[in-house]
A = this chain, B = another copy of it.
Amino acid sequence: MYTNIKQIDSHKCFDGEQLRFEHASSTLNCTMNFSVFLPAQAKNSSVPVLLWLSGLTCTDENFVTKAGAQQYAADYGVAIVTPDTSPRGEGVPDDDNGAYDFGLGAGFYVNATQKPWSEHYKMYDYIVSELPSVVGSELPIDFNRCAILGHSMGGHGALTIALKNPGMFRSVSAFSPICAPSQCAWGEKALGLYLGADKEAWAEYDAVELLGKGKPKEKLPVLVDQGDADNFLADQLKTQLLINAAANADYPMSVRMQAGYDHSYFFVASFIGEHIKFHAKHLL
């Protein structure tokens, strides 16, 4: 049935299918898993797609089991593709101390240039090129109608990838994104190790820096939700820097502070319906 991917799990879900695959990634130089929700509408024709990027410590499965997104995707008839967050496998180097904020489970959606990371950690190219190509050729999913969204490190990934590739996406959204990785400990560690000391290189993967480079001509609809009871808000996420940078760049963004919500998937679940509705408006 499939040529270059192998189905490893499937469950009927909201009249569609929650599927899991593995494939040999030439970009990441390892075997990767990814998950796909295919709505029932995909039985008849190819469907638009949401590309979800998860955060630190996650695999492709966290969002699938915890966010409750399938019901909304089923209603609107859009697929959801959820990649893993980093290269995986015995040959893939990890944080020396096994820290959760770097290495396995924390690819940061960049193309590493520094050894030993550069052999595998090419998550930016994987998300932008290989994964859409592989999935689009094997499944009834139309990446010409694609939106991107994510949580935390994945929110950083969604914003930066969309800012750099506006033509690929109809819209972008993020939950609790790391807005300025060059200015927080998680980002400084990851970008320093993956990319080296030159902060010019970091700016390519920093939403605030990308907005600061000039006023982007091609603007996408952007929705960001941030809980104000999020323990990481002040030190790691720094939403206000995004708000300021967007204002300076004349880039309209809907950035909402949600009272009382934290960094967990209970927050994502509470608002994922609104995010999918937002994207559906631009995809359908």
- Chain A interface (Cβ within 8 Å of chain B)? 11-15, 18, 65-66, 68, 70-71, 227, 229, 260-262, 264-267, 269-270, 273
Contacts and interface: CB of A to CB of B under 8 A. Distances in A.
A227 B262 contact: no
A261 B68 contact: no
Number of copies: 2
B12 A229 contact: yes
B65 A12 contact: no
B70 A13 contact: no
Contacts of A262: 11-12
B266 A12 contact: yes
Nearest to A74: B270
B66 A11 contact: no
Contacts of A264: 11
The 7 closest A-B pairs by CB, nearest first: A68-B68, A11-B266, A13-B266, A12-B260, A12-B261, A14-B270, A11-B264
Nearest to A66: B65
A260 to B, nearest CB: 4
A39 to B, nearest CB: 12
Nearest to A69: B68
Nearest to A64: B266
Contacts of A71: 68, 269-270, 273
B12 A267 contact: yes
A65 B269 CA distance: 10
A132 to B, nearest CB: 25
Contacts of A229: 12
Contacts of A65: 65-66, 265
A21 to B, nearest CB: 16
B68 A18 contact: no
Contacts of A260: 12
A269 B11 CA distance: 12
A15 B68 contact: no
Contacts of A270: 12-15, 70-71
A215 B66 CA distance: 42
A69 to B, nearest CB: 9
Nearest to A271: B14
B70 A269 contact: yes
B70 A18 contact: no
Contacts of A227: 12
A15 B261 CA distance: 9
Nearest to A261: B12
A140 to B, nearest CB: 18
